[in-house]
């Protein structure tokens, strides 16, 4: 389920990418290209947040915990489960799965960035992949801060 606040953040991320980040860091593109890059970046970033939450859900399901829904909110997502994990180990693995997925996505986008950038000149693909690599690694580390409702608050 997508909360209405998600659309506000989606637009703000797209706007920030199109009007601030890409024009400052990649000055060779047109305004239309910046807006397309901003829209693609925002879409892939929120897809990354969804994958982060799906990772929690898949691990929870593996340990027999029913997942009612995944809700995308203004500052991230929330997997709503039917019950608490049976053991501390299960709790730890469920909590760790989201940051692990974000870190894997960060490494994937870093690989895309590297292949595209080192294969020739910078392109919109390398610019987007570079930002997504950074954003996913930051998301992984931010979520491991030991404070509830972050994933680190469940360790």
Question: Which residues belong to the active site?
Answer: 53
Query: How big is the chain by its Cα radius of gyration, in Å?
Result: 17
- Comparing C-alpha atoms, which of 60, 63, 58, 65 is closest to residue 83? 65
- 109-114: long-range contacts at Cβ-Cβ below 8 A with a sequence spacing of 24 or more? 109/133, 109/136
């Amino acid at each position: 389920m997508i909360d209405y606040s998600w659309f506000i953040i989606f637009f703000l991320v797209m706007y920030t990418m199109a009007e601030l980040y890409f024009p400052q860091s990649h000055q060779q593109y047109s305004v239309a290209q910046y807006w397309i890059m901003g829209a693609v970046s925002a879409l892939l970033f929120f897809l990354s947040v969804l994958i982060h939450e799906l990772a929690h859900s898949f691990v929870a399901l593996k340990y027999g915990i029913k997942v009612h829904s995944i809700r995308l909110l203004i500052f991230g997502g929330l997997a709503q489960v039917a019950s608490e994990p049976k053991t501390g180990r299960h709790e730890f693995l469920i909590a760790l799965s989201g940051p692990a997925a974000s870190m894997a996505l960060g490494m994937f986008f870093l690989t895309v960035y590297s292949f595209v950038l080192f294969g020739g000149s910078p392109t919109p693909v390398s610019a987007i992949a570079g930002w997504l690599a950074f954003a996913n690694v930051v998301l992984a580390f931010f979520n491991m801060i030991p404070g509830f409702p972050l994933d680190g608050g469940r360790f």
